[in-house]
Structure formats: C-alpha cells, structure tokens
Amino acid sequence: MRSIAPEQGTDTTGGRAFDFPAIFLAVIFTALGLVCLPQSIAETSVDMSEDQTSTAEASPPGDADPAPVAPPNIIVIIADDAALMDFGAYGGEAATPNIDRMAEQGASFTQYRTSPLCSPTRAMLLTGLDNHLTGVATIPEVLPKEQRGQPGYTMALEPGVKTIADHLKTAGYRTLMSGKWHMGEKAGELPNDHGFDRSLALAASGADNWRDQTYIPYYPYAPWFEDGEPADLPEQFYSSELIVDRMIEYLAATNSDQPFFAYLPFQAIHIPVQAPSEFIARYDGVYDQGWHVMRADRHLRAQQLGLISEGAPLAPMPAHARDWDSLSVEDRELYAARMEVNAAMLEAMDFHIGRFIDHLIAIGEYDNTIFVITSDNGPEPSSGDNDLRLATWMSLNGYHIELEDLGGVGSWGFIGPEWANAAASPGALFKFYATEGGIRAPLIIYGPGITPTRIYSPAMVTDITPTLLDMLNFEIPEDDASRRMTGRSLLPVITGDTDSVYAHDDVRAIEVSGNSALYKGDYKITRSIAPVGDGKWRLFDMVRDPGETTDISAQEPEIMRELLAAYAVYERDHGVLPMPADYDSAQQIGINMIDKLSAYYRWYLIAFAIIAFAILIGMLRLLIWLVRSAFS
C-alpha cells in the first residue's frame, strides 16, 4: 500500500518562528475574552487463520505451529476524540477496515468508559490509576488557579506514579512512543522520564496535522519533543503518517531480540480536522441529510448492534442546538463537508495503521502482537466560526475555515456541537462532560490467545494496564514503592472465566473539572457544569435509559442519596478538589490563555512597554518644546 504525503509545493511554514506583532495582537484579542486469561496470553495462541493479502487485508495472528514462546509485543493505539460509534465495527460511516478486522476477530467491549478529557484518560490508561492519583486530574487549559500545583493537579505524572512502560522495561521490553503526550513538557515530565526508551511526543492538546504549527492561541508553538529534546519535524508530513513512520524507525533502531511495547496516540480526529483530499472525496454526500438524520441513524444501529436496549429513548440535542433545516443552503454544504473531512481523517488513520500492520508482518512480529485500540473521550464540540477573536488569530496564523481546500494545509477544520452530539449518539452530549456521549468509547483487544468475543460487562480506562500486565503474568514486586493501581484486570472476562470483573453493586466513578459520574448497579448519577450544564446532580436508569433522557431522582430518592454518598467517599479517597464558584471551562480557557502567553512573551511585552513609554516621553518633551517655542 502506498503512503500518503501532502502534495508537493504545499506550504509548511509556521513552525517556531514567530511574527511578534501578529502574536501580540492575538494576545490583545484573547484578553477581550476568547471562549473559545487462566493461562498466560504469552504462552497461548488460538487458530484464527485467514488468507493474508495486502495491508488492509492482513489476517489476524494465525495458527502458527508451534505456538510462540517469546513474550508478546504490545501495541496501544488511541484515536483522539472518536465517538463510541465512529469505527466501522461499531456502526460508523468511516471506512476503518484494519480496526474493524481486529474488532471482529478480537474482544470488543460495549460498556467501556474513559474520562471526558484527553490527558486524564491517557494518564489513567498508562498507569492503571484514577486520574487524581496520577497528577493529571484535568487538562491545563481548563485548570483554575485555586487548583494549580495541588496534589493530583500538577498536570504531569507525579513522583511514585509508574507507567506501563516503566514496568515493562524491567521485564526486558523496548518501550516506544510516537504521538500525542499532553502530560507535561518540562524536564522530568516527558515520556523519556516515564519509561520510554524512544519517543516522539506532542506535549500539547493538539497541533496542525500538515505542518509544525500550533492550532490555538493557548500554545505559542507546537511543542513536539523527541527523546526529551525539541524535535525537528519534516518540512512536509501528515500526522498519522508521521506517527507510524517514526514508530517504524524506532523499531528498526532498537534491539530486535527484545519484545516491544509501542504506544501510538494519534492526533486524529482532534481539531484541526484535516485529511488528504483522496480520502475526503470518498465521503461526498454522505452527510448531506444533516445531523438530525445521522443522530437517529446511529441510535437505530446502536440497537441493532446491541450497544443499547431495543426501544431505548434517543438522547436529546443540547440546548441552543441549531436545526439543520434552518441553515442556508451554503451553510448546509459547508457543515456536511466538515463532517466528510472528519470521516476521512479517521479513515486515513486506519490506513496508516494498516501500513504499520504490513511492516509487522514483514519483520515477522505481527503474529505475536497484542493490540489495544480505543479512544480517549467523546467527540469535540468546539467551533471555529462563532468568535471574532479566534477568527482574527486564525487569519494572523495562516488558517481559514472556508469550503475551498477544506481539510488541506491551512484549513482549521472542526465539526461543532451539533455534529458532535450526533456522532456521540446514542449517548448524550459530548467531550468535556461525564454524560455517555463524553465518556463511553470503543475498546478492542486483539492478538494471540484472544478469541472473537463481544463483551457487555463494565470496563474502565484504568483497567487496561492491569489487563496487559496480567496477560504477561507480570507481577509488580511487593517492595515497589509506586502507587497501587485502582483498575482491574479484564483478563478473566476476555478468557470467558467470568461475566464481569465488577460485582453488580461495585462503584465506578469519574470526575474531571467538576463534570462527574458514578455508576452503581443499573444506575448512574451525573453532573454537568457550565457552559453546557447547570451543576445539578441527576439520576438515570442506564438499562432503560442509556441516553440519559429522564432524571428519576425524585422517584428514587433513596437510590439518589446512596449514590451521592458513594460519590462523596470517592472524592475523599481520591483527593478530588471542589470547583470554584461560577466556574465555567470555556471562560477558564481564555483566562489561562492570557496567563500562558503573557508568561511566554513577558520580555517582549516589557520591551514593548519600555519603547512605548520612551516614545510617550519623547512626544511630551517635543510638545513642551513646541509650546515654549510658540511663546518665546
């Protein structure tokens, strides 16, 4: 299969050379309020043979004879902001044949939950710990000053927190990463300080996919690092291709006698939503009927696929959502095109996963590799067409949001809240919130020793590291001083030894920046805060009402009190801090943006102030001289 690169002659400027007047103007605008198994997997294999064809048609690990005796390799793949039903195997419109094949021939989870934001999910996945115990309780962009630097809120993995890479290094694994990190960028905070032998890491929440450039005013540049040092990216690249290419390079450059742990957190499908034109063309017309139709279609497919009970009510659209038919013909065309780029970006990621599979087959490692594929949270609701200040920043930094060349170099792609809500169907809301649309995600575990199965029991993002270590029969030494994992191994569920590793009344809780959820039995309480929520707790029956359409707290007050009490225990035991009064995450982003840019450009601002003061004094002296001359 051929790889994908931008067309020759595309603009790749932007990087880390700054136009200070433009940045300064952007800061001023921002200041005005931008809201912007029983037997180890390592010792077993099963017959899942199928004819191997090309990359996208690669077969699952086959009936190798004899069974592999070497420890299996592990690959963890994260899609960014992909909804529960975005992958084809889960009912999505995008073509994801490589992911779908692993879902069909591995273990597919239907009741898996993450956090509602990227960094906490990544910290939980890599450590097996609740986010508040890792140091990454939320993301720095929305962190209020009252929580800065507090235990659990340092925005980097704290002392005593070990990643799966830390553990696997002691077992003789090569530990490699390529993609988004977003858990600190200072010395001691990057992947090379947390168990990774080699790493290409984006320390920001996102970046441009075609060039070395920041994507929002919060970041003065795109903080890419390689092995702890500022990285030099190619002049031309596409993020999904770059991430896979660099991982292939790391595999070639490290000891092939050792098994490997490869962590590939992609930028797809985070803002800016961008994709090669040949992929975009495949979705022409797919979304022309609008978000209401897509939302209803996914809700129906969710019932057909067993993701929700038959007849379960459809989650409501968020307040202030626009009606598709109220848009002009031009706006409908533009918004449909934005969703086409979104699907294309997901397919392009899958294409490059296929290239990576091809490489593993070529070097003889594929049959002995375990894959984990998931998403970090629900779809992104942010828009790029509703704020003059953001529009000004875009124009100063070479971005546009127009239909022409949508998804290409310089295009700042997004889908907005209505499409995000439709993508999150059958769940309510989207990223940022602990509603089902924000935290229910796909999870696929595939490889030797894993038989095709659909798993309907609960699973949490904190369960992934314990599961993988259990598959390897890896035991953390009793004298290990690292913090003990809060997640559970899902291996007994994968092997069919048990229906669930969670008892019916076990508590599972999540909190990120005030947006909270707690599950117990058939019930869930959730709280959503501003700007979309009102901060009130609500109770839902998740069997009958997985779309969280009807609050039953008034009808079931005892259950409500019981779950609220359980949440209070969770808060206490995990160090959850209260949110400031009137906290609004959108407003906090603007505040934190000013703080960060002011600190970064402090000396520029001081120099500007000195020059301005000197000019003012000079003008005053000139004025005095003129006045004196006039009267002399």
Instruction: Single out the residue of 139, 185, 133, 186 nearest to residue 162, CA to CA.
Output: 133
As a whole number of angstroms, the longest Cα–Cα distance in the chain is 107
CA distances for 453 relative to 63, 110, 206, 492, 524, angstroms:
18, 11, 34, 13, 26
- Collapsing DSSP to helix, strand or coil, 508 comes out as strand
Query: E strands, 402-449, where?
Result: 440-446
- The residue type at 546: P
For 280, other C-beta atoms within 10 Å of its C-beta total 22
List the catalytic residue out of 118, 132, 167, 299: 118
For 615, other C-beta atoms within 10 Å of its C-beta total 10
| Tokens (6 digits) for 458 | 């609960």
Cis omega before residue 140 (within 30°)?
no
Q: Which residues contact 425 (CB under 8 A, 6 or more apart)?
A: 85, 294, 295, 296, 298, 299, 302, 314, 315, 437
| Tokens (6 digits) for 514 | 């005030």
SS3 of the chain: helix, strand, coil, percent, to 5: 40, 10, 50
- The residue type at 326: S
CB 617 within 8 A of CB 625: no
CB 422 within 8 A of CB 342: no
CA separation for the pair 326, 315 (Å, rounded): 21
List the catalytic residue out of 132, 167, 182, 299: 182
CA separation for the pair 302, 378 (Å, rounded): 16
CB 31 within 8 A of CB 389: no
DSSP H helix total and E strand total for the chain: 17, 15
CA separation for the pair 66, 269 (Å, rounded): 40
- The residue type at 515: N
CB 504 within 8 A of CB 195: no
Q: What angle do CA 298, 299, 303 make, to 5 degrees?
A: 110
- Whether 118 is catalytic: yes
- The residue type at 318: P
DSSP 8-state code for residue 272:
S
H/E stretch holding 454 reads strand 453-455
DSSP 8-state code for residue 129:
S
CB 172 within 8 A of CB 73: no
Which residues are catalytically annotated?
118, 182
